[in-house]
Each structure stands twice: as C-alpha cells, then as structure tokens.
Structure 1
C-alpha cells in the first residue's frame, strides 16, 4: 500500500472522530465557532512542541518561509476555519452521517478549485462524476413533506445544502492551499514539512480566532476554556487527523486525497449509529450511495 493511501485512510478516521467530538461540544453549549476554535487551541501547543523538539534534536533543518508559503498557508487556514464552522452548524439541520456526506462535496469541488488555481482539467467521464455527485446531493437535501410545486427550489436553497456546499468549497480551497504550502517548503523530509506547515497554520488559526472572540464574543473564550476536557480530546483527534491530511497533501494531488477520503462516509454512518443512535432513511442511504459512486468514478477517471 502506498504511503499516501495509508495516511489518507487514517486521516478520514481521525476526522470522523473529531467531528463527532465537536458535535458533543456544540451540544454542551459552545457555538459553532467555539467548537471550531477548540480543535485549534488544544492541538497547536502539541504540534509546535513536536516541531521545535524535532529541530533541536537535529532531525531536520528549518526551511525558509517564503511569501508563497504564507500566501498558501493563510488562505488554507482561513478557509478551513470557515469550512469547519459550516460543518458544525450543519449538524443542527441534519443528522451526523448526512452532514458529513454533504460536506464531502469537497471532493467534487476540489477539481474545480484545482482547475481555477492550477489549470488542471477533468475528462468527460470526470464531468459525469460531478453531475452524479450533484444529483446525490439533491437527493440528500430533499426536505421533508409532500411533493409539490417549488420542491426543486427548496432542495437548492435549504440550509443543509447551502452549508454543506459552502463547507465543501472552503475545504477544497484549504486542501489545494495546504498542498501548495507544504510543497513551498522545499525538498526536505515529507514528515517534517507536513509537521512544520501544520504547526504554523494551526498557531495562526488559534490566534486569528482568539482575536475574533476578543472583538465579538468574549464569553465564548471562557466557555471553551471551561470545556477543556472534551476540548483536549477534540484537539488530539484534530492533531492526528490534520497531520495525516498534511502528509497526504505533500505526497499526492489534493483531488486524489479527498477522493480516497470518501471512506469517511462509512466511518460517519458507523459513528452516527454508535455515538448518537441515528438511523438513516432509505432515501438517505440511496443518496449516500450515489455520492460514494460519483467519488469512485472520479478516482478511476482522474
């Protein structure tokens, strides 16, 4: 098994666990932004300490931090913050597995972001996979109630669809930007470049969100600090998952990494049943299956 495949599978597993823990944080009274900040706040010190120790032990040399690196790092960091907030908000509208499925539109949107930023194109078969993925999202977003006029419009403008697609767009931008940031650090060991990029991005995200709370919602700072026990669990899961994602992005194209990350769909279904006692309707199972199929096709044709 290639290294990028193994670390991507691990990243998907840790990410599913982290989203489940963040849902618990939101249920405990934290806002979507507070639950998002917890993942950065409690993971930043650990990864920073590891990188400093790595350098002091002589395991790696500090590469130059160019303007290109910071442009990618900041774009990815801000996009990831916004994407995570959207996902946590989305859990208020749909159950855990469906929320994760809508978020997985990132796979399809990464192809578009890659084309816009890097000039990469998709084949006709790849475009067919995108269309199939859109159909799957519409199936998942179908609001409850009788069929009738205006049904299709409601599918497109429902909060769950808008939040899911928005989070997917921001995650797509984050993935492409993180790959650019890691590649901008030169030709050193992949493991160190991934750790360094992650440490700098996470520290920046923690600081940016702290400044936001100091300006807009100081009470949320106290709530996040009081929830330090579950916050540490979120931070640990976030650290493990993020390091695996950064390593995968350093080794492989972001679209391929996100496409393989579709295994998170299976983890989310299991997580929803295990942690929240959720059951999917037949329509939701069908929609998840369609989206999974579109991602498989995307992997095969790109």
Structure 2
C-alpha cells in the first residue's frame, strides 16, 4: 500500500507547485514558467539517487532502446503538458486550469488499456469514471455551456500529454529491471535532468531575457522546483508500484489541496458545486484504494 502514501505526497506537493506556477505565469512567459518546474529539481533528484546507493548499493541500470525511448518521450511530453497547463492558467482562473489538467486519470485509463496492457477491475473503472465526472464539474463552474471550445481542447490536450507522460514513466521504470525505489529514482533523475538541459539550451539560444528574469525571482522559482521535485518523486514512486489509472484517480485528492490553496493563499472563492465535486473525488479515491 506504499503507493497510496506516495500518491498523497505527490498530490499535496503538486497542488503547491501549480499555485507557484500560477503566480509565476503573471510575470514570466510559458517557457520560463515551465523551466521553473525543473531548474533546481535536478540536484535534489541526484542527491536522492546518491543517498539510495549509499544506503543500499546495487547494480547500475543497463541502457536499452526501450528505456531510452520511454525516458526521452516522458521528458518531452511532460514539458509539452506543463506548457499547456500554463496556457490553461492564462485562460481561466487557477482552480479551473488545475481541474482541467486533472482529467488525465480517465485518459490514462483508456490509453493504458488500449496500448499498454493495463487492466482495471470493475471497482477501478467505476472510481476512474466518477473521478472524471468530478473533474468535469470542477472545470465548468457556470455549467458545461460556459466552457469554451478552446479551453476544452486545451484541457484535453493537456490531460492527454500528462497521461502519456505517466504511462511512459511507468514503462521506463519497469524497463530498467531494478528493484524499487532505485528504478524510480533513476527515472526521476534522468527525466528531470534531460528536461532542464533542453529548456535551458532553448532559452540560451532564443530567449536569454527570460532566464535573466527567472533569477530576479529566485525564491518563487526555487519553491516551484522543490515542490515539483517532491511531487515527481511521489508520482514516479507510486507509478513504479501501481497502474497509472489507479494512481492518477487517487491523485485527484489534489483537488482538495488545490481548493484550500485557492481559498487561503490565492483568495479565490470555493463554491457549493466544488464541494459536490470534492465528495465525488473522495468516493473515487476510496474505490481505487479498495479495488
């Protein structure tokens, strides 16, 4: 049941990371906000990996085409997903943007079953679908008609990119043929390092002004990276132990943390409709925990 602990840790950390990125999106462009997620996370991921090997030395992973494909694919797709989420923050308020991005659970279930050999129990499917309904309620505070086609498509693209990221991360972890938690730690370090290298290289060539602007807001950027690294540690660990749809459905408890942050830190109001959605998220979480 360790995956449950790691999922709760990931959801809590990710809700804070989203809040920090929402603040950064008001002063930085999409690429800068996306890089803030990874910039200072690599050293933390390396420290965690080294500590694991000092405590329990095991063999190093053997590079294969499959593991390289999944690691590179996950790194690129997570950048795309994060950039789309930042664009969502600019479309609607923070809670709606985060809500749309969280529809990755049902998407990962369908993609997992179709292409990755994932199998879900009846209770599991019920939990995933109820969680999907909860996300739909959160994403449409004024009713389904209030959701523009552009925002809906952005939300679907974002959740699909996040779902593919999660599925590829699990495949990468399994392909290394190492025991847990070493497998998850290697994927965490390699993915984050590759993402940092790609984004920093791009900004050095195309947009140095954004890099300079990021160092003018070091506190918020560092907080974003730390929250992101802890969140990724939780997600990568949970997805190494359990099927992605279950992890992502339970991870929708992030909605609860997001509401608290929205209310107390960002000063956005929480509506009755959101409370109803939260109850559905709780039901979905119970179903996937006891599937």
CA–CA separation in structure 2 for the residues paired with 1:191 and 1:69: 16
Q: 1:248 to 1:57 in 2, by over 3 A?
A: closer
Q: 1:107 to 1:89 in 2, by over 3 A?
A: same
Partner of 1:168: 159
Question: 1:164-183: CA deviations, max 9, x gaps?
Answer: 22221111111111001111
Please give the residue correspondences for 1:76-155 in structure 2 after superposition, counting only pairs within 5 Å. Answer: 76-120=74-118, 136=134, 139-142=137-140, 152=145, 155=147
* 1:140 Cα offset (Å): 4.2
Task: Name the larger-Rg structure.
Answer: 1
* 1:193 Cα offset (Å): 1.5
Contact 2:99 2:255 in 1 (8 A): yes
Partner of 1:5: 4
* 1:156 Cα offset (Å): 5.6
Gaps of 5+ in 1: none
Please give the residue correspondences for 1:1-302 in structure 2 after superposition, counting only pairs within 5 Å. Answer: 2-27=1-26, 29-52=27-50, 54-55=52-53, 59-120=57-118, 136=134, 139-142=137-140, 152=145, 155=147, 157-159=149-151, 161-188=152-179, 190-287=180-277, 289=279, 292=281, 295-296=284-285, 299=288
* 1:93 Cα offset (Å): 2.7
- Give the structure-1-normalised TM-score: 0.84
* 1:67 Cα offset (Å): 1.2
Q: 1:60 to 1:131 in 2, by over 3 A?
A: closer
Q: 1:52 to 1:141 in 2, by over 3 A?
A: closer
- Give the structure-2-normalised TM-score: 0.87
Contact 2:106 2:128 in 1 (8 A): yes
CA–CA separation in structure 1 for the residues paired with 2:188 and 2:168: 12
* 1:38 Cα offset (Å): 1.2
Question: 1:138-167: CA deviations, max 9, x gaps?
Answer: 5444486xx9xxx84x636042x2222222
Contact 1:130 1:294 in 2 (8 A): no
